[in-house]
Structure formats: structure tokens, C-alpha cells
């Protein structure tokens, strides 16, 4: 079975695939280029990077870290799915029963580490390293609002297997690596952690940049808005948002492209946008804080 | 948390709720009247029967044995769901992450018994009795086509906890009890194990009677077709089927109401209907053999 995460993979999508492949004896893959944070982790740990797969003919597929069709790797059909392991809301229809393991925890790596524990299986070193990175990335080093007790528990279990002494320092290095976006184009930045959602019948694109240097991105606002405009047209979206998340200050600003996004976002977050920018304060989780608010605003 | 199965509950829907409530410290409920088989089991084991609940205000809900909105208990909204444990295909959208445990095994009771094992929790006697009955009912005493190795394994684990020596004899008594439909109206028989499905944009009702005395039901064909006609109108269905499953002979006949159903069923099963009756031979599982064929025929 091929285990693979979503389009525009973030660290958890790549690392959860490694954990799942290790636990269930499959092959880890990814759906596209990794980001700077993921690159740092693979260099640091010197573990093999899963290859990009876009041809799933004849292979059973286990999805990790997503389940919505709009986020599937290129070339993947729902009929291929035999397993889904995820921690997001579910939006999935299959034509026959498959195995699904969904838990409302901070990362998919947490869900898979917990399955290792339930199965009483020893966790191989490379899988432990990958899953530790996945948890720290998705939970902002156990400080973000999606963090659960289970995430903390799994970090404590994985840490001794990885050779890392201080996970906070390691996570800070991860976030620094991700924040170094100087050599990327606005389009690349927009797509680093970008997903499309179906919300109340509307097709909404939503990119997020988690950074320790938000000022770098805010300085490129015009460029980013241009890239957003192009992408909105190309993908025939009803709306496109981009959140700049300051992971150290736990604070976010939202780029709102046009009046359409402005109306939705102001309703969603109860604040006024100025110069295409909306201060959404302490909201740092797309999954838990941003998308639900947008979804509710569209529903109204 | 309230654990509850689908509308028109069958034995597994009621019994899986008991298992789940026992494992996760919740309250077992059911969505409607139990059938003759379930009644037999509760009389035999002398265990408390879950009450019918239709008011879910303020309560978190764990769904067992279904996940599709069309099968929810009266009064239940998707927003209430915190947990889903099931073995059917998935057709579910939530607005936030919840816990989902889906396995492609023969019964939901199997899935929950396996969760007891994973959690290393002792299985209380009443829960063991309920889950044994749930597995035997849904797998036709481990003889039906949906039976997996995991179902057999769980029966072997549960059996010593229940006081039952010979599960085959016990299952035969269960099936005999279910087959005694003499005092039920045609409408009641149609609704004993009845579900509505969304297939290729069409709303299809599908009732099943598993019996050791199919001749009883075949003799009431006209009555049953009349009840089907009324129900099709009332529920504004695009099609309505009723399968009479001979559990001992592993053979089924399908009642096809009108030309609309005839066209679909003949395409689905590659046979000709005569006098509103289609012999679908060894197909005895709605989930695995009947609905997929109907779904494919509609899709064509």
C-alpha cells in the first residue's frame, strides 16, 4: 500500500506517510515538493525522503493527513482508497467500506504514533524522527491551539528514540528554516501550505505561512496579492485567502484579495480589513480557527 | 455520550451501542423499535434493553453501525457527532474533526470488541453477550459473505464470556425468532431492516428480511408490494426494493415494485424479473452484494 499525504504537502503530510508506511508495511510517498521546514528535517535527521508519486495504477492507497477529494494527490481516485488516517474534519464518500482512523488530535503523526502504541509495536528510529517532526510542526511545538494531551504524550514517547534532547530548540530551528522564504516567488509562498475547501457550496482557496519573521512576508503584500489574483482566476475559486502566522507571537494577519473576500472575512472574524489586510489576532490554526469561521460566515 | 445506531435498528445497531457505551463509559440508546431477533436475544440473555432516544439536546452523540445522514435517528444533527464507529462505506461530512473508527469487517460489534482488545480492557458480561449477538446477526453466524477473519477471532474471544456453548445453535434460534413474522403487517415487515440510500443522485429505499422461512414472505408478495408502493410515494423515493434472504440456503429473491425498479434490478443482477420477483441467487448481503450492484446499474 502507498501512504501519501495531500497536495502541497506540509511536514506532517510527508512525515505521517513515513510513520504509516513503517507501521503497516507500505511505501511512503508524497504528492509534491516539500517545503523548507521539511527539507531542514530530512537534512537534519538524514532519513530518506519519500518520492513523489502521481501514478496509482494497480496500487492500493492509504491517505494520510487529508480525506477531502479537493486535496488528493494528482492522479488519485477515491476508488483506490483502502485506508484513511487523518485528524481533520471528514468530507468523504466511498463506494465500499474501507478502514478509517480519524482522531481530533494535533497532527496525523500523533494518530499514527498512537497506533504504534496500541499495536505494541516498536517504533523504528526513522519513523520516530519523522513523526516527532510531524507533531512539532502541526502543533507549533505543542504551543498551538490544536495541541492535545495526546500530542504531548506522543512527543514524550518519541523523543528518546530520536536522539533529540530539547524538542523546543529543535522546533525553533524547524520554524526558522521554514521562515527563510527570501528566494521564493510570491506564487511559491502562496502554495507552500495551500488547500482548497468546499464551504457552503463555494470553492475557497486558503494558504498559510507559519513564520518567525512575518515582516518579511508583509513587506511582499502587493506581490502576494497579485499571485493570489492569478491563482483565483486559474482555479476558478469563489474566494482566496492567505494567512501570515507569526508562530512566536501567536498572532496572524489575513490577506484579503478583493471585496468578495473582505465581506466574508470581516463577517467571520468580526474585524475591519484595511489595505487588503485583516488582523485576526490570536487565531493561528487554519483547521480549528480560520476555516470554521469562514465556513460559518459563508453559511449565514 | 449517547451511543446510538441507525433508524429501524437491526441487532448489530442495538448491540454495538451497548458495547460502545460499555467501553467508552457512555449511554446506549436505539433509534426505534427492535426486531424479533433482537427481542429474542434480550430475553435470552436477560440484559437491559437500551431506551429509544429522539431528543439529543445538549448531548454528545457517538454513532454506531451507520454514518450516512439518511439513516440517522430522528432528531439528530451532524453537529452533535463526536464519534463514529462503523463498518459500512462512508458518506459523511462534518464541520470539525471528530473521532472515527471504520473497519471493513462483518459487524460494528466486531469493531468495538476489537477496540476492547486494543485498549486491554476486560469485557463486561452484558457487553460480551450483546456484541456476540451483533456479530452473529450481521455475519449470518460467520457464514455470510461479509464475514472476515476478525469476526471469527472476536467470536472466539467473546464466546467464553457469554455462557453460550455452541454459537451455531444459538444463532439458529436467533434466526428462527426473526423469521416468525406471522403477526406483523406487510408495512412492519418492509421496515424491519430498511434503509434509504443516495445512489447516483437517486433516493433508493432498500428493505431486507433475513429468514429461515422465506416461503412465509413469498406467500405475502402482493401485500408487500402494496406496502412498498405506499412507502415509495410517502418517502418520495426514486426506487424501492425488498430482499427476502433465505439465510440457511444462502439465497435471495428481490421484490421489484414497478418497471423503474425492474430496469435497474435486471441491469444490476443480470437476470429477468417475473411477476415482480427477481431471483438474485447467492447474493445475501445488502451492503456488499446488493447495493453496490444497484449503485453501478444506476450509474451506467
Whether the Cβ atoms of residue A151 and residue A110 lie closer than 8 Å to each other = yes
Residue B215 contacts by C-beta under 8 Å, 6 or more apart in sequence? none
**Residue among B89, B95, B98 whose CB faces A104 most closely:** B98
pLDDT in tens, A163-198: 999 999 999 999 989 888 878 899 999 998 899 999
Residues from A in contact with B at Cβ < 8 Å: 87-104, 118-119, 287-288, 292, 295
Instruction: For residue A251, give how far its alpha carbon lies from the nearest alpha carbon of chain B (Å).
Output: 22
Neighbours of A149 (CB within 10 A): 9
Cell numbers that stand for B2 in this block: 449517547
Contacts of A101 in chain B (CB under 8 A): 100-102
Contacts of A89 in chain B (CB under 8 A): 93-98
Closest residue in B to A120 (Cα) is: B118
The band of A95, judged by pLDDT with boundaries at 50, 70 and 90, is: confident
Residue A73 gets which letter from DSSP? Answer: P
**pLDDT given for residue A63 in this prediction:** 98
**pLDDT given for residue A85 in this prediction:** 98
Mean pLDDT for the stretch of residues B201-229: 94
Edge-first strand order for the sheet with A194-199 is A194-199, A202-211, A239-246, A251-256, A277-279
pLDDT of A280 over the 80 cut: yes
ipTM rounded to 2 decimals? 0.78
DSSP B152-206: HHHHHHHHHHHT-S-HHHHHHHHHHHHH--TTS-HHHHHTTTEEEEEETTEEEEE
pLDDT of A213 over the 90 cut: no
Please name the fold of domain A186-299: Diaminopimelate Epimerase; Chain A, domain 1 (3.10.310)
**pLDDT given for residue A299 in this prediction:** 84
The mean pLDDT value of chain A amounts to 94
Contacts of A292 in chain B (CB under 8 A): 95-96
Domain boundaries, chain B: 2-177, 186-299
**pLDDT given for residue B286 in this prediction:** 94
Mean pLDDT for the stretch of residues B148-163: 97
Look-up of cell digits 519513523: A127
The CATH number of the structural domain formed by B2-177 is: 3.90.1640.10
Whether the Cβ atoms of residue B80 and residue B60 lie closer than 8 Å to each other = yes
Residue A160 contacts by C-beta under 8 Å, 6 or more apart in sequence? none
Indicate the range of A41-55, B173-187, B213-227 predicted with least confidence: B173-187
Whether the Cβ atoms of residue A75 and residue A58 lie closer than 8 Å to each other = no
**Residue among B98, B104, B118 whose CB faces A102 most closely:** B98
Q: Using the beta-carbon criterion (under 8 Å), do B104 and A93 form an inter-chain contact?
A: no
pLDDT of A200 over the 90 cut: no
pLDDT in tens, A122-145: 999 999 999 999 999 999 999 988
Closest residue in B to A89 (Cα) is: B97
B42-47, Cβ contacts within 8 angstroms, sequence gap of 24 or more: B44/B170, B44/B173, B45/B126, B45/B129, B45/B130, B45/B133, B45/B162, B47/B18, B47/B126, B47/B129, B47/B130
Mean pLDDT for the stretch of residues A13-41: 96
**pLDDT given for residue B111 in this prediction:** 98
pLDDT in tens, B191-209: 988 999 999 889 999 999 9
Whether the Cβ atoms of residue A96 and residue A36 lie closer than 8 Å to each other = no
**pLDDT given for residue B3 in this prediction:** 98
Indicate the range of A53-57, A60-64, B228-232 predicted with least confidence: A53-57
Whether the Cβ atoms of residue A238 and residue A260 lie closer than 8 Å to each other = yes
Cell numbers that stand for B11 in this block: 441487532
**pLDDT given for residue A149 in this prediction:** 98
Amino acid at each position: 500500500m502507498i501512504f501519501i499525504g495531500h497536495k502541497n504537502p506540509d511536514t506532517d503530510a510527508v512525515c505521517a506517510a513515513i510513520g504509516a508506511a513503517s507501521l503497516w508495511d507500505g511505501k511512503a510517498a508524497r504528492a509534491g515538493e516539500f517545503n523548507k521546514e521539511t527539507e531542514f528535517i530530512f537534512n537534519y535527521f538524514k532519513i530518506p525522503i519519500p518520492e513523489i508519486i502521481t501514478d496509482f495504477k494497480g496500487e492500493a492507497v492509504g491517505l494520510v493527513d487529508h480525506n477531502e477529494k479537493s486535496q488528493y494527490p494528482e492522479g488519485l481516485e477515491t476508488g483506490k482508497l483502502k485506508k484513511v488516517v487523518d485528524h481533520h474534519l471528514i468530507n468523504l464518500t466511498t463506494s465500499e467500506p474501507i478502514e478509517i482512523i480519524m482522531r481530533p488530535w494535533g497532527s496525523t503523526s500523533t494518530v499514527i504514533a498512537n497506533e504504534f502504541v496500541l499495536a505494541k509495536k516498536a517504533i523504528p528510529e526513522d519513523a520516530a524522527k519523522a513523526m516527532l517532526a510531524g507533531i512539532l510542526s502541526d502543533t507549533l511545538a505543542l504551543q498551538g491551539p490544536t495541541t492535545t494531551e495526546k500530542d504531548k504524550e506522543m512527543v514524550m514517547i518519541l523523543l528518546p528514540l530520536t536522539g533529540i534532547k530539547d524538542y523546543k530548540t529543535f522546533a525553533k530551528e524547524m520554524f526558522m528554516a521554514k521562515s527563510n522564504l527570501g528566494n521564493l516567488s510570491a506564487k511559491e509562498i502562496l502554495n507552500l501550505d495551500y488547500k482548497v475547501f468546499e464551504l457552503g457550496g463555494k470553492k475557497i482557496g486558503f494558504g498559510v505561512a507559519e513564520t518567525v519573521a512575518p515582516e518579511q512576508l508583509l513587506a511582499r503584500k502587493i506581490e502576494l496579492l497579485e499571485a493570489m489574483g492569478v491563482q483565483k482566476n486559474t482555479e476558478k475559486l469563489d474566494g482566496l485567502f492567505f494567512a501570515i502566522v507569526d508562530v512566536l507571537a501567536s498572532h496572524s494577519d489575513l490577506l484579503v484579495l478583493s471585496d468578495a473576500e473582505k465581506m466574508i472575512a470581516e463577517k467571520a472574524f468580526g474585524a475591519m480589513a484595511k489595505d487588503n489586510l485583516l488582523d485576526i489576532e490570536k487565531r493561528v490554526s487554519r483547521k480549528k480557527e480560520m476555516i470554521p469561521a469562514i465556513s460559518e460566515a459563508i453559511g449565514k
